[in-house]
Amino acid sequence: MNLALFDLDNTLLSGDSDFAWAQFLIAKGVLDRELHEAKNAAFYDQYKAGTLDIHAFLDFQLAPLSRHPRTELDAWHREFMTTCIQPLIGAPARALVARHTECGDLLAIVTATNSFVTGPIAREFGIPHLIATIPAQKDGQFTGQPRGTPAFREGKIERVEAWLEALGLCWSSFGQSRFYSDSHNDLPLLEKVTHPIAVDADPILTKIATTRGWPHISLRD
């Protein structure tokens, strides 16, 4: 059995679900445009530059979840899936997931974006396992804080290893392990697997992948 791990934003999706969720809430009037739009863009720029403070970002991104009942959030997310996420899912991404599924590989999405936003997206792809940043809950209500280690940079390795351990597995359980990602922020996990694969990569990762001879593919229609 082989292991296939997928980054989500700008990898399987031709866009960023975290950024899109905040923009969706702004467009609905749930978040104040003047206050939140500039912050959302600034955090996204920091992510692309590799300077993101994940905890400061999570304070910003998870806070809206704590202000609304889960039924309302779920209704908004269904609309978000239809209007914002479905257009970002291309046939090549679906085909890649299908190939790994048909090969009998163990599949997981590994993403820094929180599991409330990404859970339905993983189900849309038919990927059975999701390793994402977990928004803490109390009595069924989000608290606005993360629980445990965010699935970001080195945290992705920690979270993947904990997941594998819970399944009674480890890295050496697999003949091959693959991780598909667009971002240089994912270098720790890319360097951990046996087969790192750059997908529509950012300029920094493109340069690294070229230097190291890693495959570089595109999943864009």
* DSSP code per residue over 160-199: HHHHHHHTT--GGG-S-EEEEES-GGGHHHHHHSSEEEEE
Rounded Cα gap, residues 142 and 144, in angstroms: 6
Per-residue confidence band for 167, with pLDDT thresholds at 50, 70 and 90: very high
What's the chain's average pLDDT? 95
Per-residue model confidence (pLDDT) at position 74: 96
CA distances from 146 to 61, 167, 174, 203 (A): 10, 23, 31, 30
Per-residue confidence band for 139, with pLDDT thresholds at 50, 70 and 90: confident
**Total domains, the chain:** 1
% of the chain beyond a pLDDT of 90: 84
Q: Provide the edge-to-edge strand list for the sheet that holds 195-199.
A: 141-147, 129-138, 106-114, 3-6, 177-181, 195-199, 216-217
CA geometry: angle 131, 188, 201, nearest 5 deg: 85
Q: Is 9 a catalytic residue?
A: yes
Average pLDDT over residues 101-127: 98
Residue with tokens 């090969």: 103
User: Which residues lie closer than 8 Å to 106 by C-beta, 6 or more apart?
Assistant: 1, 2, 3, 4, 129, 169, 174
CB 181 within 8 A of CB 4: no
- pLDDT tens, position by position, 55-105: 888 888 898 899 999 999 999 999 999 999 999 999 999 999 999 999 999
Task: List the catalytic residue out of 7, 16, 18, 186.
Answer: 7
User: Which residues lie closer than 8 Å to 211 by C-beta, 6 or more apart?
Assistant: none
CB 219 within 8 A of CB 90: yes
- pLDDT tens, position by position, 144-164: 999 999 999 999 999 999 999
Which structural domain range is residue 86 located in?
3-217
Per-residue model confidence (pLDDT) at position 151: 96
- pLDDT tens, position by position, 14-46: 999 999 999 999 999 998 888 788 888 888 899
Average pLDDT over residues 112-128: 97
Rounded Cα gap, residues 190 and 179, in angstroms: 6
Task: List the catalytic residue out of 9, 182, 186, 202.
Answer: 9
User: Which residues lie closer than 8 Å to 8 by C-beta, 6 or more apart?
Assistant: 17, 109, 111, 113, 118, 121, 122
Nearest CA to 86 among 95, 77, 96? 77
Residue 144 belongs to domain with CATH number: 3.40.50.1000
CB 169 within 8 A of CB 15: no
Q: Is 182 a catalytic residue?
A: no
CA distances from 61 to 23, 65, 195 (A): 11, 8, 32
Average pLDDT over residues 107-117: 97
CB 81 within 8 A of CB 120: yes
Nearest CA to 132 among 2, 5, 3? 5
